[in-house]
Amino acid sequence: MSDKPQQATEKLRYLPELAGRSGVFADRAEAGRSLARLLAQQDLQQPILLAIPAGGVPVGLAAAEMLGWPLEVAVVSKILLPWNTEAGYGAVAWDGSIRLNRKLLARLDLSDETIEKGIATTSEKVAKRVQLLMKNQASLNLTGRCAVLVDDGLASGFTLLTAIAALKKVAPAGIMVAVPTGHRQAAAGLTPEVDLVLCANLRDSTPFAVAAAYRHWRDVSEAEVMKLLAGAEL
């Protein structure tokens, strides 16, 4: 099958040989190399990869190494549900901006106190990561550059929507999303907000799990992210 990217919509591209499959990547590094193949086929002017920690960093580093593109960190974190360490009802970005999923909150029985506590905890986490991973720079200098947001997967897309909104404030030349794996509906939902969405392994499965695209999946710690970035030639 051809390696040329196909279009699910005008602004959504994927690798057809990986579509609809599980377990296609050994780990995040291999996922990053597959994503680099898709990125290399796009005509981008002065691209810069912006990896979302923690899981997006090993993906972004592998892609950056193959492509020879610069990479920086863009800190965004979910505001987690009290009973679920994976799902969230909002997100906080590196510039301190907060985005809440109002549709989801309307269906949840969360008190105002619980919501505010979640926002405060996540804001503190983001501020700490900005200091550790973004050299204490809460803004990014992206003048004239195509900003490519990279994460290890796309489930609901809400975290990436928060990152996109923050990026728009600094007006890069273009904004793209690039993920190794993602749900078709969520990926398509991002297309009105960006110039292009690249998803190497596009899937329709329900329920959807990012981890299902990986044969070896584990959480990435903050310490591991710092070690990876320290060892990379950025």
Q: Return the exposure string of 139-176: e unless at least 16 CB atoms fall within 10 Å of the residue's CB, then b.
A: ebebeebbbbbbbbbbbbbbbbbbbbebbeeeebebbb
pLDDT, one tens digit per residue, over 189-205 is 999 999 999 999 999 98
Residues making up the chain, counted from first to last: 234
Report d(CA 117, CA 147) in Å as an integer.
32
Q: What mean pLDDT do residues 27-51 have? A: 96
Residue 51's nearest CA partner among 185, 144, 183, 159 is 159
User: pLDDT tens across 161-173, in order?
Assistant: 999 999 999 999 9
Q: What is the structure's pLDDT at 233?
A: 58
- Rounded mean pLDDT of 114-139? 88
Structural domains of the chain sorted by starting position, each given as residue range(s) with its CATH number in brackets? 6-75+136-231 (3.40.50.2020)
Distance CA 179, CA 148 (A): 10
Tokens for 66, please give them: 């193959």
Pairing of strands 76-81, 71-73: unpaired
Distance in angstroms (rounded) separating the CA atoms of residues 27 and 50: 19
